[in-house]
Chain A
Amino acid sequence: MMILLELFISFFLVAFVSFGGASAVIPELYRIAVIEHGWMAERTFTELFAIAQAAPGPNVLIVTLIGQQVSGWQGAFFATLGMCLPMSLLVGLLFKHWDKLQHWRGRAAIQLGVAPLAVGLVLASGTLIAHSASPGLIGILLVLVTIVLNLKTKLHPLWLILLGGVLGLSGLV
């Protein structure tokens, strides 16, 4: 019971700083799950990240998987709910007034100001995840190739994930 509440509250709080979505707060999720609560080893966290990437659906599934590792399907439910609930409520409340805010200077100021921080957060997330996998030379190359292919081609990300899985299985990375 306590653990479900703990999961809910932890992710409820993360939701308030997750500008840029779940991908932006991976370092914070890591801090909560591995360092603060010791719910799992670093390797488990990294592997759950990989599973979330390979699964269909929103990026927030990493939170679902963390919750499940800690406390089964109920843990998964309360962790996911915690992450999704605060802003869902705010969206519901703000929705009616959004049109009126169209010309409010604060709205433009917040959008302009928050965007670059989200960029920094997302880039830091990707870098830290890559680092935690302690890649060799070929591994680093795979990260770089993924970045270039994703930016420069319309190749579906699923193919890249498949490539990663195959290269991993073959022991090359």
Chain B
Amino acid sequence: MPVPQTFDSATKPTPTPAELFRGFSRVGLSGFGGVLPWARRLLVETEGWLTAEEFNVLLGLCQFLPGPNVVNLAVAVGVRFCGWRGAVAGALGLMLGPFLVALMLGVLYEHYGELPAVQSMLHGITLVGAGLIIATGIRMGLNVKHRRVYLPFAAVAFVGIALLQWPLPTVMLGGAALTIALSWWRLSQDAKA
């Protein structure tokens, strides 16, 4: 692992679309079970395109919006440095390698997916994958602010989707209307106090 360098904003290099493409293609193929830490390493430590604080602000924007966060991040970084061409270069760099690997695995699956050995292997991986997602959920839950106020909503969303099979868009949009109204109200109470 390279020693993290620090860059101040005066000497920070500005990437071209080609460099964005190459940088993000390394990120895309490095990430198993979460690409974000690799993106941070590239942007802040290896290349020094962003300071840690700039990275956090951009990440905030990407997590604010739904959708694949790391794709959003590649777009945001690309736009910042090179406008829409940078956005295309970053997102394409990030996705192209993994996309091709996934296609290859998909073709292998079409040919060999019926083999009992392949099925038992995938069965084991499914269970680990489920565990990894649950662990991610727990980690996200521990990061929620004002847990006593907000985690009950997580519980309701969980029960609604996992046990009662409520439609996910309804849970998400209906729930968001409710929780955002609540947090808005709490924030205005804080502002008054």
Q: Does B35 contact A (CB under 8 A)?
A: yes
Residue pairs across A and B with CB atoms within 8 Å: the count is 371
The answer for the CA separation of A119 and B137 in the assembled complex, in Å, is 5
Chain A, Cβ-Cβ closest to B146: A112
User: Majority SS of interface residues in chain A?
Assistant: helix
Contact A91/B61 with A19-B66, A113-B180, A146-B131 known, Cβ cut-off 8 Å: yes
Most buried by B among A15, A69, A83, A126: A126
Tally of contact residues, B, Cβ under 8 A: 100
The answer for the CA separation of A166 and B191 in the assembled complex, in Å, is 55
Chain B, Cβ-Cβ closest to A84: B71
Contact A15 B66 (CB under 8 A): yes
Contact B35 A57 (CB under 8 A): yes
Contact A55 B105 (CB under 8 A): yes
Near B by CB (< 8 A), chain A positions 1-26 give 13, 15-23, 25-26
Contact A84/B67 with A91-B79, A115-B144, A119-B141 known, Cβ cut-off 8 Å: yes
B32 to chain A: which residues have CB within 8 Å? 56, 156-158, 161
Near B by CB (< 8 A), chain A positions 45-83 give 46-61, 64-65, 68-69, 73, 76-77, 80, 83
Q: Does A38 contact B (CB under 8 A)?
A: no
Contact A95 B79 (CB under 8 A): yes
Contact A73 B162 (CB under 8 A): no
The answer for the CA separation of A1 and B144 in the assembled complex, in Å, is 43
Kindly identify which residue among B35, B91, B151, B180 contacts A88, using a CB–CB cutoff of 8 Å: B91
Q: Does B2 contact A (CB under 8 A)?
A: no
Chain A, Cβ-Cβ closest to B88: A88
A139 to chain B: which residues have CB within 8 Å? 127
Cβ of B126 to closest chain A Cβ, rounded Å: 4
The answer for the CA separation of A92 and B78 in the assembled complex, in Å, is 9
Cβ of A173 to closest chain B Cβ, rounded Å: 5
The stretch that binds A, out of B5-13, B15-23, B43-51, B167-175, is: B167-175
Chain B, Cβ-Cβ closest to A133: B126
The answer for the CA separation of A76 and B105 in the assembled complex, in Å, is 12
Contact A47/B173 with A57-B31, A86-B67 known, Cβ cut-off 8 Å: no
Contact B106 A150 (CB under 8 A): no
Contact A60 B68 (CB under 8 A): yes
Q: Does A137 contact B (CB under 8 A)?
A: no
Cβ of B70 to closest chain A Cβ, rounded Å: 5
A22 to chain B: which residues have CB within 8 Å? 68
Chain B, Cβ-Cβ closest to A132: B126
Contact A55 B121 (CB under 8 A): no
Per-residue A-contact encoding for B152-193, CB less than 8 Å = 1, 0 else: 011111101110000111011101101111111011100100
Contact B128 A126 (CB under 8 A): no
Other contacts beyond A57-B97, A158-B32: 5, CB < 8 A: A57-B29, A57-B31, A57-B35, A80-B95, A133-B130
A residues apposed to B, CB below 8 Å: 13, 15-23, 25-28, 31, 44, 46-61, 64-65, 68-69, 73, 76-77, 80, 83-84, 86-88, 90-92, 94-95, 98-99, 105-130, 132-133, 135, 139, 142-147, 150-151, 156-158, 160-161, 163-169, 171, 173
